[in-house]
Structure 1
């Protein structure tokens, strides 16, 4: 049975700690429990209509089907209580007007979590995670990245690369092709690392990117 999620925020706490205690969060990260989410979503009609045109433009892109399917996987597996936390603690933007020209981006607090880009007719994804979850000794040492593990989690070794963003214990992973992204998201250790990073930032407080939330994309993420 899925554990109950508190509907009344706990006083003196921030982020998702208002709704999920540390044991629930830890068990969810490790895949031991499914969290009971809200039945209904809080919605802003103004925002829903604001990004409809961008969403329709995305649907005309050759990558649209892959983008929506990958987003659905990410939303269902990588974001805790996504309906209850929608917009206030995470958001998804559609064709955001940033210099790197992404198709979609998921944010929490002040942090990018996940981005999908066009890669020719296909797609590539960028994941931000904790470096210490991807080193051979679980240290934040850049020289200790577990490259064989990363290559094992995609369909072809050349589909994965990585970089080191600014900040302590930060790690960026690029994955090319829909097939490799799916395989990457299916790896248990990968999923735990993504969940850990996402909770780190969702626990820091309200999402700074609420005004960029695209409800049409979120509909796809939360379907099913």
Structure 2
């Protein structure tokens, strides 16, 4: 912001106060707006204060944009649900959990891997806690979990694009040996099979055709035409 813009902002909102957002990993302490003519105006802590926030890039609030997008998306699907930001997430904002009321599925977003590059999944554990199945969605900061690629043949990815003052989420479908197919998250659907895009529908249909066309193995594991010499 330019100095003149900040002056107008102060006149429009004389009672506004500003705080270092704890949902962004900040300290929660008050901020002041600094007006400069020789450099960009900005918010700052009071002198001699040490803040705990380490991430301050444009992607540092992606979890908040994703949370709002999820609330809008849940309503567009005609269902209800709760969106949680687990307090145990490290770094802050790296996880979003979605519980869909009346559905047998849950959504688990892992926007950033942990410090050792892991997504926090135990080997072979691709289900959510409890009795519901989970659709896992991962950011771009680490390799795709092998257990999901081996199990269902694809992995959901999420990325964000800056449009004006918004960070807009895009849902990707990554397959082994192929490029990731991207679509606006708002156009994704929730079906009985889980989170769905046109690419996922094609993958699931192909797997169903493959399963339906597989020969039935008789007891003993030999095909009907095999014989022991």
Return the structure number with greater relative CO, CA threshold 8 A, min gap 6: 1
Q: TM-score, normalised by structure 1?
A: 0.29
Greater radius of gyration (CA) = 2
Q: TM-score, normalised by structure 2?
A: 0.29
Bigger share in helix = 1
Bigger share in strand = 2
